[in-house]
Amino acid sequence: MMLKTDQDFFQSSVQFVKGVGPRRGELLAKLGVHTVRDLVYLAPRRYEDRSRLKAIGEIRSVGQFETIRGTVLAKGKRRVRGGLWIFQLAVGDDTGVVYAVWFNQPYLDERFHAGDNVIIYGRVQLYGKKLQMQNPEYELIESDGEDCLNMGRIVPVYPLTEQLNQRLMRSVVRHALDASGPHIEETLPDEMRERLRLIGLRDALENLHYPGSFAAQGRARDRIVFEEFFLFQLALVLRKSRTAHVKGIAHTVDGDLQRTFIGSLPFPLTGAQKRVVEQIRLDMAQPKPMNRLVQGDVGCGKTIVAVAALLTAVDGGYQGALMAPTEVLAEQHYRNIKKLAGGLPVRIALLSGEKKKNDRTGLLEELRGGTIDILIGTHALIEESVAFKRLGVVVIDEQHKFGVAQRASLKGKGETPDVLVMTATPIPRTLSLTVYGDLDISVIDELPPGRQKVMTYWIGKNKLADAYGFISKQVKEGRQAYIIYPVIDESVNAELKAAVKMADHLAKTAFKGIPVGLVHGKLKTEEREAIMQGFNRGEIAILISTTVIEVGIDIPNATVILIENAERFGLAQLHQLRGRVARSSHKSFCILEGNPKTEDGVKRLSIMKKTSDGFVIAEEDLAIRGPGEFFGERQHGMPELKVGNIITDLAEMQRARKEAEALLADPGVKTDPRYEPLRRAFRELYKDKLNLISVG
């Protein structure tokens, strides 16, 4: 393959790396590795010091994650009730024995043999008097002494997908680094590296993967994290400077609609709501586009703030649009806003993906004619056939649920409309200002009076009968409850209880005689709406559902939510689900049933049990999931942060911000030859993306 430049080399397909090929290239793509550059920047998720592994006899406490090297002494598999397979290994060294257990993976019986050398990593537990690891990570050691990549050193442990193993990953990364050597171009000027005490890029990449010491690995990571953040901040600062002079709509903000709306509410606004409404009002009065993020915990009253913004636009003769991520949430917004603004001369409409053709045609004609003031819907709002006469403000709820291109499409339905994005997944203000550098930030940090803290419990499957009994007791006292499952039907994953099957089973057993409803995303709109209305009216006492009710559902009488297989949900998702209860003065409960088999799974459920503070949970969620997923291209319009962590590396992000601002303030940076490698790296990462950042 002929390659003309260093950039050509790094952008070439990963399949051309020695040991990869087309089939493994497809597997690596599942890890987000498509190019040679992706592979050399694929950061290990942890390291093992295999120059000295802990002996089994040195384990002093259970509950900790340990790395053990030993020999397979025995193995066996058996089938238990329900058709579940259990496979077990006895792994021993000169000091003791650990038992490794895997559930529903009978094929492992063919992978291990007595006498194999193996490394296992997992949480050590006591099972009777025996040490045990459930579903540990494992690695077969095929050779000793001569295996310089896998033994006798600090060894990288990479993220994996099916049919890829650690030995293969270490091998192909090594080949990629060796081939990359002549093509690695230093991007940071010498003066900057010396001033910031950063090592060279070539040394950094080598020690990111195969460090000679943990100190060397730390220096390598510091260098790569700074460059990653620096390029990121250059993009944000550039975008902010480009949009500073864009002309927008100077709305009339002293009209009657908003004032009448707030005065007619059956409850007073909280101090935080008043503050944010005023911030939005001042924004909308300016002759430049509003670009504001409102963040606040579940139940803080963001919808009221959004309606105030929409009515401000309508007051001046403009239209408003509110886009929600699910049909259920869009329908809930429509009902609530119609009820709240019922006495006002405002035409509010709902556009769903399942709306009948005739109704849809008429609605779209009214929208183009300007007789519809506020349109609420899902991603159906961004379809080509949807045209506004005079769109003045766009509200995007649960903004992280939409891809950045979808948000940009809705904004493009008008001429520089004001944009308000909302999230119930808050992040610390200092972090918001650093990462969302081109957005104004509002925080609703106060809940309506009378709301009680949710009591959260974590139970095992053996306590489910007690949980069902508790729910029945709450129903007898006049309350309602949710039960949440991660899948709709059993075909998705045989290990998980299915919502459809369990709704039928529980209605005939634990909840016999109690009205039970089932709702999920595959139901038709009319069916789903009828069930939700029945639950809202109290005709249905227990609602069994998937995560379709994750956001926006407001049933004050619901006091219990039971989430089964809770380890299958993300932390932010669990927090959102918990927010479906405690929406009144009644005492409320969240019961998490789960048996996590990973360190991250244990952390998620422990955090949920420990705190209900959305800001704390958001920090922990970002720390667990990693910034690449949270601020990836789908959500922010930016390439993923592959190494840096925007929580633990916040100081480095702030340092990168200052350096970016200083560099771009220098008019000579565009032509100075010292910065040409940096300019090339920036163009390669951020080409065609700067126009998307402002709707991130």
Express the helix, strand and coil content of the chain in percent, nearest 5 each: 45, 20, 35
Q: For residue 304, give the 3-state DSSP assignment.
A: helix
Domain assignment of residue 60, yes or no: yes
Is it the case that residue 390 has pLDDT exceeding 70?
yes
State the Cα torsion 364-368-369-375 to the nearest 10°.
Answer: 70
Q: What is the pLDDT of residue 636?
A: 43
Is it the case that residue 539 has pLDDT exceeding 70?
yes
Q: Are residues 349 and 460 in the same domain?
A: no
| Selection from 441, 432, 442, 437 nearest residue 239 by Cα | 437
Integer Cα distance of 456 and 609 in angstroms: 5
Is it the case that residue 694 has pLDDT exceeding 50?
no
The two three-digit tokens of residue 265, written as one number: 């509410």
Q: What is the pLDDT of residue 3?
A: 41
Q: Mean pLDDT throughout 455-462?
A: 92
Encode pLDDT of 661-677 as tens digits.
899 888 888 888 888 88
Is it the case that residue 112 has pLDDT exceeding 50?
yes
Q: Are residues 270 and 301 in the same domain?
A: yes
Integer Cα distance of 388 and 366 in angstroms: 9
Percent of the chain with pLDDT over 70: 86
Q: Mean pLDDT throughout 481-489?
A: 82
Q: Mean pLDDT throughout 191-217?
A: 94
Is it the case that residue 608 has pLDDT exceeding 50?
yes
**Adjacent-strand bridge partners of 134:** 101
Domain assignment of residue 519, yes or no: yes
CA angle 579, 480, 396 (to 5 degrees): 35
Is it the case that residue 404 has pLDDT exceeding 90?
no
Q: How far is CA 222 from CA 201, 215, 340, 403, 586, in A?
A: 11, 11, 52, 30, 50
Confidence of residue 281 (pLDDT cuts 50, 70, 90): very high
Confidence of residue 431 (pLDDT cuts 50, 70, 90): low
Encode pLDDT of 21-30 as tens digits.
999 999 999 8
Q: Are residues 124 and 269 in the same domain?
A: no
Higher pLDDT, 149 or 575: 575
Neighbours of 115 (CB within 10 A): 8
Rg (CA), the chain: 28
User: Which range is least confidently modeled, 202-206, 462-466, 593-597?
Assistant: 593-597
Q: How far is CA 141 from CA 44, 66, 120, 670, in A?
A: 19, 17, 11, 52
Integer Cα distance of 288 and 243 in angstroms: 9
Q: What is the pLDDT of residue 273?
A: 93
Is it the case that residue 170 has pLDDT exceeding 50?
yes
The model carries a pTM of 0.62
Residue found under tokens 């908003």: 258
Confidence of residue 428 (pLDDT cuts 50, 70, 90): low
Q: Are residues 225 and 322 in the same domain?
A: no
Domain assignment of residue 665, yes or no: no
Domain assignment of residue 679, yes or no: no
Average model confidence (pLDDT) across the chain: 84
Confidence of residue 591 (pLDDT cuts 50, 70, 90): very high
Q: Are residues 108 and 214 in the same domain?
A: no
Domain assignment of residue 676, yes or no: no
**In which element (H, E) is residue 227 found?**
helix 214-243
Is it the case that residue 407 has pLDDT exceeding 80?
no
Domain assignment of residue 403, yes or no: yes
Higher pLDDT, 591 or 407: 591
Q: What is the pLDDT of residue 490?
A: 54
Strands 542-545 and 480-484: parallel
Q: What is the pLDDT of residue 354?
A: 64
Q: Are residues 45 and 59 in the same domain?
A: no
The two three-digit tokens of residue 601, written as one number: 């799974």
Domain end among 420, 444, 468: 444
Q: Are residues 79 and 126 in the same domain?
A: yes
Is it the case that residue 10 has pLDDT exceeding 60?
yes
Integer Cα distance of 419 and 364 in angstroms: 22
Confidence of residue 251 (pLDDT cuts 50, 70, 90): very high
Domain that holds residue 328: 256-444
Q: Are residues 233 and 276 in the same domain?
A: no
Q: Mean pLDDT throughout 547-561?
A: 78
Residue found under tokens 């005689």: 513
Q: Are residues 486 and 592 in the same domain?
A: yes
CATH number at residue 24: 1.10.150
Name residue 292's amino acid: R
The DSSP code sequence of 138-201 is EEEE--SSS-TTTSSSEEEE----TT--HHHHHHHHHHHHHHHGGG----S-HHHHHHHT---H
Encode pLDDT of 36-94 as tens digits.
999 999 999 889 887 778 889 988 878 888 888 899 999 999 988 767 889 999 999 99
Q: What is the pLDDT of residue 550?
A: 57
Integer Cα distance of 17 and 27 in angstroms: 14
Domain assignment of residue 680, yes or no: no
Q: Are residues 350 and 492 in the same domain?
A: no
| Selection from 403, 425, 405 nearest residue 570 by Cα | 425
Q: Are residues 130 and 206 in the same domain?
A: no
Evaluate whether 454 touches 591 at the Cβ level (below 8 Å): no
Q: Quote the number of domains for the chain.
A: 5
Domain assignment of residue 90, yes or no: yes
Q: Are residues 72 and 45 in the same domain?
A: no
Q: What is the pLDDT of residue 146?
A: 46
DSSP H helical segments within 463-524, as ranges? 464-476, 499-508
Q: Mean pLDDT throughout 1-15?
A: 69
Reported in sequence order, the residue ranges of 228-385 that DSSP labels E, i.e. its strands, are 291-296, 319-323, 348-351, 374-377
Q: What is the pLDDT of residue 489?
A: 58
CATH number at residue 541: 3.40.50.300
The two three-digit tokens of residue 503, written as one number: 């709704």
Q: What is the pLDDT of residue 467?
A: 95
Q: What is the pLDDT of residue 633?
A: 39
